[in-house]
Amino acid sequence: MDKKFLERVIDALRHGESLPAEWARFLFPPEKREAELVYDGKEREEEILADIMSVPLQPVSTFGLGTGWHNKLIFGDNLQAMKTLLQMKEAGELRNADGTSGVRLVYIDPPFATKKEFRGSHDEQAYQDRITGAAFLEFLRHRLVMLRELLSEDGSIYVHLDGKKAHYVKVLMDEVFGEQNFMNEIAWCYATGGASRDRFSRKHDTILFYAKNARQKLFNVQKEREYYDKPFFNEQKDEQGRYYADVIMKDYWRIPAVINVSKERTGYPTQKPELLLERIIRASSNEGDLVLDAFAGSGTTCIAAEKLSRRWIAVDCGKLSIYTIQKRLLHLSGALDGMRRQVGPAAFTLYNAGLYDFASLRKLPWQDWRFFALQLFGCKDEPHQIAGLQLDGKLKGSSVLVFNHDELAGKRIDEETVRDLHVAIGNQIGKRFFMIAPRGSFDFQQDYLDFDGVRYYALRIPYSIINELHTRSFTALEQPRDEGAINATVDAVGFDFIRPPRVAWLASARKTTGGTGREAVLRIRSFASTTRTHGVDVAGGLETFAMLMLDLDYDGEVFDLDKFYLANDLQRASWEVPIPVDSIGKQVMAVFIDIYGNESREIIPRNKFGLLSGGPARTVRNRRQHAA
């Protein structure tokens, strides 16, 4: 770095000016790389890894029996969830069939940038596109760094993209994984969709395949059949008399896309074909290995992994995705066991990561509560004693006490308690001390109390955002209100507790328009939700309603998604949902979801719609077990 440049930097900093993004490469020169992608807001890898908060996994429901490993379906922002998975890897809890640590295979199909509306001049539009472009790249880069850490040393990653962003992401992946670990750019070719007249029709997606270590990676050679007009060298004929050869698979794959009439179609936009995932899974993993999809969508990866006897972890921040996957798994057919008998899915557990149910947390045995409480506030589980007092962990180097509300039932933490604590240990704990307890156990409102220069923080569950403890402000999860937004990027930070929205609804039946038959109708009359943003409770009405999901013949145990309605469509239909009478079973389960991912559930018996009880025969579902 020359002296003149250095002076310019110092001068700019002195005057409080922000430094141009282009200077980054001089200030932080890339080490062994030839090229680097420079854009505004690019963080250093060390910062990314250190900054991300881990969020504990709260089990919601378990499907299937069995001890030991359960496949994991995680609702939450993938970045935070991956930090938690990384801690599991470090604790030896993520292992492949042969015992190697980490996940063997990652497939991700991230949303292709955001579609933020922007009203303004052409120049402003172009500027906005650049900004969202850089934000998208950084969003993805954070995930790629985490995924690299999660992979086993012989693992591989496949990133699904389209032609618009693939070249940028290739450069980023060269940085994150090393250019020498680039394996293939796979073109997934399909024929469906519209055609262009002003250029060649875009009929392929790009999948970038990298190994964590090119030399060590696991790769099972795949073959494909090629047909020929004439026989040549050593050829064979099939039953139809065509000449063929089984050759080593190339990097362009012709696989039909999922269309409206496809058997595997779930209705989830952007669903990818199972065959595509099966090919990837066969090539880069073995039976019993761990496969991770951090942008799970409709769960194609889970289904393909099930069929090929791999274990899986899937993360998505959309409720629609979670319930689509749950349904798809529970109705899974076609998976074969060792005896080639059809079986249902292996045991799996649905977890919340970042949005928690406080009521069920309170019921946890003390040790589990203690663990959860420490994780929630990012504390190290490090039991230690000071002046004979048993403490639980460390946060930023200071001691943490998790209040044992079981043992000390009825005992409250007031200013006097903290003063006594200070007298006992105040001179041995440095400047800060943290106390974690259920909100109701604290008898004072302040975030902290000071005694002789020592600050005693009250970390309350549910909810404590003490800004100075967190490097970022918390942002809530976002659920889509229209179809276009289902595939938007979501970047949520922090945690929250479920606050079921309040819904008033009306069930009725009426004549079908123009017909002689009858239809049931569910009408939403009002909707109210609350969330906490930047430490403040915010109340909202129908504008915070995201979607309604229905299980039309609820079996009293498991919500089995049949239909979903997005808020914007419902609004156009005056908040009414017509339901064909003969699709309704004995009872309907309605799940109302707000834009933050909170849900409210209602069981509506058939006769509430003014229909005779009874209803059509229940659909036959797979065997399943459900434990709360």
Which two tokens mark 3? 């002296």
Q: Which residue in 314, 317, 579, 604 binds ligand SAM (CB under 6 A)? A: 317
Nearer of residues 305 and 461 to ligand SAM, judged by Cβ:
305
Cβ at position 341, least distance to ligand SAM in Å: 27
The rounded distance, in Å, linking the Cα atoms of 159 and 182 is 12
- Candidates 231, 249, 252, 233; CA nearest to 241 is 231
**Least distance to ligand SAM, CB of residue 524, Å:** 23
Helix (H) / strand (E) element for 236: namely strand 236-237
181 — phi, psi (to 5°)?
-100, 5
Least distance in Å: CB of 623 to ligand SAM? 25
Q: Is 206 in the site for ligand SAM (CB under 6 A)?
A: no
Contact positions with ligand SAM (CB under 6 A) in 284-313: 295, 297-298, 300
Q: Which stretch binds ligand SAM (CB under 6 A): 124-132, 266-274, 542-550, 589-597?
A: 266-274
- 176 vs 507, which CB is nearer to ligand SAM? 176
Instruction: For ligand SAM, give the closer residue by CB, 82 or 507.
Output: 82
Nearer to ligand SAM, 298 or 531 (CB): 298
Binding residues for ligand SAM, total number by CB under 6 A: 21
Q: Which of 321, 441, 531, 598 binds ligand SAM (CB under 6 A)?
A: 321
Please state, in angstroms and rounded to a whole number, the distance separating the CA atoms of residues 216 and 153: 7
**Is the CB of 317 or the CB of 437 nearer to ligand SAM?**
317
Closest by alpha carbon to 491, among 52, 46, 163, 158? Answer: 52
CB of 619 to ligand SAM, least distance (A): 23
Q: What is the DSSP string of 176-221?
A: HH-GGGEEEEEEEE---S---SSS----EEEEEEEESSTTT-----
Q: Is 507 or 561 the residue whose CB approaches ligand SAM more closely?
A: 561
Residue 216, amino acid:
Q
Q: Which residues of 381-406 are buried (b: 16+ CB within 10 A; e: fewer)?
A: eeeeeeeeeebbbbbeebbbbbbebe
> Of these, 487, 529, 544, 598, which contacts ligand SAM (CB under 6 A)?
487
Q: Which of 113, 145, 150, 315 binds ligand SAM (CB under 6 A)?
A: 315
Q: Tell me how far, at minimum, the Cβ of 282 lies from ligand SAM, in Å.
A: 17
Residue nearest to ligand SAM (CB): 297
What is the nearest approach in angstroms of ligand SAM to the Cβ of residue 321? 4
Residue 188 interacts with ligand SAM (CB under 6 A): yes or no = no
Angstrom CA distances, 295 to 56, 70, 318, 624, stand at 19, 19, 10, 26
Give the range of 62-70, 178-186, 218-226, 267-275 binding ligand SAM by CB under 6 A: 267-275
List phi, psi (to 5°) of 177.
-105, -15
Q: What distance, in Å, lies between the first and last C-alpha atoms of the chain?
A: 61
Q: What are phi and psi of 491, to 5 degrees?
A: -130, 90
Q: Is 278 a residue that touches ligand SAM (CB under 6 A)? A: no
Strand 182-189 and strand 348-353: the pairing is unpaired
The residue within the footprint of ligand SAM, chosen from 291, 490, 546, 548 (CB under 6 A), is: 490
Q: What is the largest CA-CA distance in the chain?
A: 93
Contact string 69-108 vs ligand SAM (x = CB under 6 A): --------xx------------------------------
User: 301 vs 529, which CB is nearer to ligand SAM?
Assistant: 301
109 binds ligand SAM (CB under 6 A): yes
Please tell me the distance from the alpha carbon of residue 503 to that of residue 524, in angstroms, as a whole number.
7
Minimum Å gap between C-beta 102 and ligand SAM is 20
Binding mask 213-242 for ligand SAM (x = CB under 6 A): ------------------------------
Nearest Cα to Cα of residue 552 among 518, 526, 591: 591
Part of the chain binding ligand SAM (CB under 6 A), chosen from 170-178, 234-242, 270-278, 613-621: 270-278
Q: Which of 56, 64, 318, 494 binds ligand SAM (CB under 6 A)?
A: 318
Which tokens in the block code for residue 499? 């606050």
Query: Measured between alpha carbons, how far is 517 from 295 in angstroms, rounded to an integer?
Result: 42
Exposed / middle / buried, residue 270 (Cβ in 10 Å: 0-12, 13-18, 19+): middle
Helix (H) or strand (E) holding 11: helix 3-14
Q: Is 111 in the site for ligand SAM (CB under 6 A)?
A: yes
CB 137 within 8 A of CB 172: yes
Position 16, amino acid = G
Question: Would you say 283 or 437 has its CB closer to ligand SAM?
Answer: 283
Task: Compute the least distance from the CB of residue 402 to ligand SAM, in Å.
Answer: 29
Residues that bind ligand SAM (CB under 6 A): 77-78, 109, 111, 268, 270-272, 295, 297-298, 300, 315-318, 321, 487, 489-491
